[in-house]
Structure 1
């Protein structure tokens, strides 16, 4: 049996009752998180453009779009919801690979589950298994694939979306292998588009292509037998510098990569989160004002400079990938929410002045959630701090209460307070719900 077939067999045949309760709970947490960030993102101009596109397509109304009145096909709903989930870069992160597993997988699973009337528990299980597939594929090509410039959320995410949607559709081993085989040829997304709306199209297309791949597999459509390991398959073509088959399959079913996932307290690239933790802590402890700062210096993981080195971001979305802006906004505003990454905040002269004083040096031994940081004041005084694990990392996870606070703040931008609370309750009780209708109804806006 090939590596691809082994993965497909596990996803198709895993018993829902054997899934750890902790993973089903984590699935609910990721859904709460993704609904929060999607509802907030629904007001963006890029979101309006994609929602208008889906409306113009005129598809049969079978699945719901978050934060809108639109019902459309499962394919279109998965695409738009995948875009919304990732637009603010406020979704979750799989720390071993920097994959964002939820944005491609939940929209695919939820759209198909809504269409089919799947039970809440089976929907949660489908997400857990789809997310595991995405994470395992990502681990099998990390870091070689990402270092080439591929955006792993799009490329690995499509496998998870197909696996999760296929699970909802009840695919057997052969059909699941076909779905994954079709999905693999849709794997796409390059990092050059970071800082633009196009970045969020990677999980958007991964989600919709995952739905399509799973659907086609039920109808006799064919795909590669071994899309991962084949001579011209995913590993050889998209990760020619290396792959790790063991990482794909080791302890499958007993070790869960969703446990290495983290929910974000800040709406930007995750590798800057320890910097923001450090700056906000020193700011609050010592009452540091912007005019007091002579310099901010951080010792960081190499990925900070690889992904986040934009000294002069031109717009809000670019600010999300500027460690300099993340640090400056944290110092000036004491926060890192989406409001700190508006075009106006990027252009703000006070933030810009602090941003010019931020620098970083690489420490190869630093983990992605770790930092040593010093703020030197104009008086010559130096305040230093070491952050071992950033807030939201697997070793310092966001609590349920902190997640609910994030959810209420973001969801409240789009929905009435009573609906915000009803939706939250519906997700927490999803494992006992006969279907996902309560969630999909409450995540949308009313007509008129």
Structure 2
């Protein structure tokens, strides 16, 4: 069997245990938390106006409440999930696995009146298929310059939509092949509006792959492993990885390895921000001379490359992806929220001055970027230190359900009174909800 056929067999025969469905609820709520504060982001507004200008029906855009086509809804909701970088991360593959899958399958579920339970099953299986493909392609797919979720998100989105619609194995194989042949997304987009576009467009592409396959459109069965197929074109991995990665499907659920962000910035910054906020109360009025972080070598490489490319941040997106800015802002403001990525903060002379006194040292003992250490040297010669092996939100420091709910409330201030709690309650009960529109009707600020 080819890779597409193997994935299709899994998608058409697998069952999702109750624990997996609960994790799917957590992942869904996490995406709502990531997007509820993003409605006014300029990238989202531009994409919303462009994608919905011709109207349409069947699905809706989160928080705007705009009725539109499933394709447009998938596009804009994908961008909403991405733009604040407050979503999930699957650290082993450097990717945000849910951000392209959920908007596609949720738009389809809304259009077709699917149940909450059917949505959860489709989401879980689609994410598993996507992560299996990503496990094979990474890390060299990323090192070559790809956005990991851009490369694989269409596969996950197509997979989830096939499950929701009950497509047979043959048509599911074609949907996956279409998505594999149309994978895209360059890492150069990081720090710009284009990254949120890639996520939205990837969700739309996966939905299109499903819709075409449902109508009988075909794709090469060897779209993944064939000559100049996805594997050969997008990575430099050993083909011996393929069989073991697929063999675990349905036995070892990768979605339990997801990291949930508790502050709105990219994953490599979470350990440093957590260290800063832990040390700061001990400063007792002392002035910082320098901060020194020991981090995974890849973190140092990424942060230094961005410093050289961006200089000082000049936009919200650049501030979000600037580790030194995030650490300096967290120290001086005692928190890290979306307010710390605005111009008021990233142009603050005090933040800029402290940013320039932050050093990153590559620590080969750090196998991943789940942790780091910090030493703060003060002008009086004293020091304070902190080490984090697993920052809050990683599988090693799991975020409780109640905390996920509270994070959503924290960023949902624009919602009408009581709406945040209604959304949270609906998500936790989603497996008993007969129609997904019960949830999507709540996802609007003005009603």
TM-score range relative to shorter protein:
over 0.9
Residue in structure 1 matching 2:278, options 271, 281, 305: 281
Give the Cα–Cα distance (whole angstroms) in 1 for the partners of residues 285 and 251 of structure 2.
Answer: 47
Against the structure 1 CA distance between its residues 21 and 241, is the aligned structure 2 distance closer, same or farther, given a 3 Å change threshold? closer
- Contact in 2 for aligned 1:79/1:208 (Cα 8 Å): yes
Structure 1: unaligned runs, 5 residues or longer: none
Asked whether the 8 Å contact 2:157–2:206 carries over to 1, the reply is yes
Instruction: Tell me the residue number matched to 1:98.
Output: 94
Structure 1 residue 118 and structure 2 residue 114: aligned?
yes
Q: Which residue of 1 aligns with 2:290?
A: 295
On the 8 A contact 1:304/1:323 being kept in 2, the answer is no
Would you say 1:320 and 2:316 are equivalent positions? no
CA distance in 1, matches of 2:385, 2:46: 45
Partner of 1:150: 146
1:76 aligns with 2:77: no
Matches within 5 A, 1:386-425: 386-412=387-413, 414-425=414-425
State TM-score, norm by structure 2: 0.96
Matched, 1:253 2:254: no
- For residues 372 and 201 of structure 2, the distance between their equivalents in structure 1, rounded to whole angstroms, comes to 34
Ranges in structure 2 where 5+ consecutive residues have no aligned partner: none
Structure 2 CA distance for aligned equivalents of residues 283 and 326 of structure 1: 14
State how far apart, in whole Å, the 1-side matches of 2:205 and 2:245 are.
21
Greater Cα shift, 249-258 or 335-344: 335-344
User: What is the distance in 2 between the residues matched to 1:166 and 1:231?
Assistant: 26
- Aligned with 1:41: secondary structure? coil
Match of 2:314, SS?
A: coil
Distance 1:49 1:296 in 2: 38
| 1:427 alignment partner in structure 2 | 427
The Cα shift of 1:235 comes to 0.3
Alpha-carbon distance in structure 2 between the residues aligned to 1:364 and 1:125 = 39
**What stretches of structure 1 move > 4 A for 4+ residues in a row?**
none
Q: Distance in 2 between matches of 1:407 and 1:287?
A: 32
> 2: distance between equivalents of 1:168 and 1:302?
41
Instruction: Check conservation: 2:145, 2:187, Cα contact below 8 A.
Output: yes
**Local SS of the residue matching 1:336:** coil
Within the candidate set 87, 92, 97, 2:83 is matched to: 87
Paired residue secondary structure (1:149): coil
Q: What is the CA RMSD across the aligned residues, in angstroms? A: 1.4
The alpha carbon displacement at 1:242 in A equals 4.1
Alpha-carbon distance in structure 1 between the residues aligned to 2:188 and 2:19: 36
Deviation at 1:162, TM superposition (A): 0.6
**Structure-2 separation of matches of 1:104 and 1:306:** 27
Give TM-score, length-normalised by structure 1: 0.95
Per the alignment, residue 377 of structure 2 pairs with 376
Question: Is this contact kept in 2: 1:346–1:352, CA < 8 A?
Answer: yes
- Asked whether 1:178 is paired with 2:179, we answer no
Determine the C-alpha separation between the residues in 1 that align with 2:342 and 2:238.
Answer: 39
1:265 matches 2:266: no
| SS of alignment partner, residue 40 of structure 1 | coil
Q: CA deviation at 1:241?
A: 4.9
**For 1:5 and 1:23, how far apart are their aligned partners in 2?**
23
Deviation at 1:260? Answer: 0.5
Paired residues of 2:95 and 2:148 also in contact (CA < 8 A): yes
1:184 CA displacement: 1.1
